[in-house]
Amino acid sequence: MTSNRLGFMSHTNTTESLHESLRSGRLVSVFGTKDGEHKLSIHYVVDAGASGYRFFQFAADRPVTSITAITPAAAWYEREVHDQYGIEILGHPDLRPLVLHENWPDGVHPMVSAVGSVPWASRPYPFLEVHGDGVCEVAVGPVHAGIIEPGHFRFSVMGDRVIHLELRHFYTHKGTEKLFEQSPVARGMLIAESVSGDNCFAHAVAYCEAVENAFGVQVPRRAAAIRLIGLELERMLAHVADVGALCGDVGFTVPAAYASRIKEDLLRVSAACVGTRYWRGMATPGGVNRDFSSAAASSLAAAVERASGEFASLARKVLDTASVQNRFEGAGVLLANVARDLAVVGVVARASGIALDVRRDHPYGAYTEQAIDLPVFHYGDVLARARVRINEAAVSAQLISEIAANLPPGPTCAAAGFEKDAQGFSAVESPRGELLYWVSCRRGQIARCHIKSPSFQNWPALPFAVADNIIADFPLINKSFNLSYSGCDR
């Protein structure tokens, strides 16, 4: 297998070395593959810190022993592999269907069989029941009152206090990883862009970099710089919108309205500079599709600087408001040890005292030349997550200004052919956290593309932050995580 500057694809595939690696490292992803002869494999990705990402591959035609007992973060991944590939997992504490719902028949595994016409079934799905005097169940969703994505939340409450929360997601499962199969390598980013709407550029870049790593394509420096601007702008947009939405959730409407105005300004300047508001269609394997004029770069930098200043003063006012502090502080605490056990990533990890950022730990693209200032807070509450977002937006604005002022000259796209068989991966820090793409290409087509999305990783941590809070605070806590349904459901 190929070696890679981000890490290496390991040959030492023993269970012992996997367990050893999991004890010192962080589980990144678990996924299945099927080779040309229909032989199933299960892959484990571990972040081994300074030595990069380590990949482990095991044959999965026979049952595989669960690693959930060693690292609880594997629970959802193993359930997914069990659903999608039918790989038997031994010793998993909870192998209820995860991705596939009650209407999906037993024994049909979408990643190994055709899904053209699957009969309608009705399987039972037992929720965990909490018994006791005065315990009530409150079911919320999948249809919500606001314009948000579908997800089901099953609360067991005692009065207003939440005892247990169970998530039931995957209502927006689109079979994305299946869609990638047989798609031409040069067009895969169009699928990647549609995985998670507000992180579309991060997904597109992650896909492109995985392909570039697989084929050894060197991205021109100018293209890498433009990608960095796009990624940081996306992060800034997400954080501005999230802080506004947090205010909206506590009924603090004025900052919410101002934040959406700041976001809109940034979107409009994006549209003026690159032709699309969310940078869709910008990334392509080998570089970017559109160049920046220097006038566009400076107008973008000016707009970002103005938005950053406005957002900073807005954020200061929000955090100085006593009624906001009262709502944010101490709400939805995610303890550091829980966060570590569930291997959470992104803003959620950094608000629970885990200094983790792909840009700093495993730099890629133009980040190899940048030092990233990492805001980390230790309280793990809504306030900590809000402050991480506020500080990160400032860091992003700073990065955009620096890069836009010194755009390297040169071409924006390297010519590349994708005909040979190759495998590669890339990791990108999306606004929600670590995003990993693993691609395997055969004869110019994608044979398999696995997406490790930060939302899939972080959703299981939400119930731990919500337990023991009052149910009326759930929307606020959920918003402070701001996880994607679409990105998680694939």
Partner 1 sequence: MTTAAANVLQYLLLVLGAPLLRALIARVKAVIQRRQGTNLWRPYADLLKLFRKEDLVPPDSSPLFRFAPMMLAASTFVAAALVPTVNQSALLAFAGDFIVLVYVLALGRFFMGLGALDGSSSFAGMGASREAMISALAEAPLLLGLIAVAILAGQGNIVEIVRWTLSQNFFDVSAVHAVAFAALAMVAIAETGRMPVDNPTTHLELTMIHEAMVLEYSGPSLALIEWAQAVKLTVVLSLLIGLFAPWGMAANLTLAGLALGLGAYLLKLVVLAIVIAVLESSIAKLRMYMVPEFLGIATALGALAVVFTALLRR
In the complex, the residues that contact partner 1 under the rule CB under 8 A are 136-140, 144-146, 160, 247, 249-254, 257-258, 261, 321, 323-324, 326-327, 331, 470-476
158 or 422, CB closer to partner 1?
A: 158
415 or 472, CB closer to partner 1?
A: 472
- In this structure, the strands spanning 7-9 and 53-59 are parallel
d(CA 462, CA 457): 10
d(CA 483, CA 273): 28
Q: What is the 3-state secondary structure (H, E, C) of the chain?
A: CCEECCEEECCCCCHHHHHHHHHHCEEEEEEEEECCCCCEEEEEEEECHHHCEEEEEEECCCCEECCCCCCHHHHHHHHHHHHHHCCCEECCCCCCCCCCCCCCCCCCCCCCCCCCCCCCCCCCCCCCCCCCCCEEEEEECCCCCCCCCCCEEEEEEECCEEEEEEEECCCCCCCHHHHHCCCEHHHHHHHHHCCCHHHHHHHHHHHHHHHHHHHCCCCCHHHHHHHHHHHHHHHHHHHHHHHHHHHHHCCCHHHHHHHHHHHHHHHHHHHHHHCCCCCCCCEECCEECCCCCHHHHHHHHHHHHHHHHHHHHHHHHHHHCHHHHHHHCCCCCCCHHHHHHCCCCHHHHHHCCCCCCHHHHCCCHHHHHCCCCCCCCCCCCHHHHHHHHHHHHHHHHHHHHHHHHCCCCCCCECCCCCCCCEEEEEEEEECCEEEEEEEEEECCEEEEEEEECHHHHHHHHHHHHHCCCEHHHHHHHHHHHCCCHHHHHC
1 or 136, CB closer to partner 1?
A: 136
Q: How far is the CB of 384 from partner 1 (least distance, A)?
A: 17
Q: How far is the CB of 137 from partner 1 (least distance, A)?
A: 8
253 or 294, CB closer to partner 1?
A: 253
Decide: 425 and 439 in contact? Cβ < 8 Å: yes
Q: How far is the CB of 214 from partner 1 (least distance, A)?
A: 44
Q: How far is the CB of 413 from partner 1 (least distance, A)?
A: 42
76 or 474, CB closer to partner 1?
A: 474
327 or 452, CB closer to partner 1?
A: 327
Q: How far is the CB of 268 from partner 1 (least distance, A)?
A: 16
d(CA 348, CA 201): 21
Q: How far is the CB of 269 from partner 1 (least distance, A)?
A: 19
115 or 257, CB closer to partner 1?
A: 257
Residue 431, sorted as left (phi over 0), alpha (psi -120 to 50) or beta, turns out to be alpha
Q: How far is the CB of 167 from partner 1 (least distance, A)?
A: 15
405 or 470, CB closer to partner 1?
A: 470
Q: How far is the CB of 165 from partner 1 (least distance, A)?
A: 11
Q: How far is the CB of 273 from partner 1 (least distance, A)?
A: 25
Phi and psi (nearest 5°) for 16? -65, -45
159 or 216, CB closer to partner 1?
A: 159
146 or 409, CB closer to partner 1?
A: 146
330 or 408, CB closer to partner 1?
A: 330
Q: How far is the CB of 122 from partner 1 (least distance, A)?
A: 22
70 or 140, CB closer to partner 1?
A: 140
Q: Which CA distances in Å does 357 have to 47, 354, 405, 433, 479?
A: 12, 9, 25, 7, 21
Q: How far is the CB of 131 from partner 1 (least distance, A)?
A: 18
Q: How far is the CB of 278 from partner 1 (least distance, A)?
A: 24
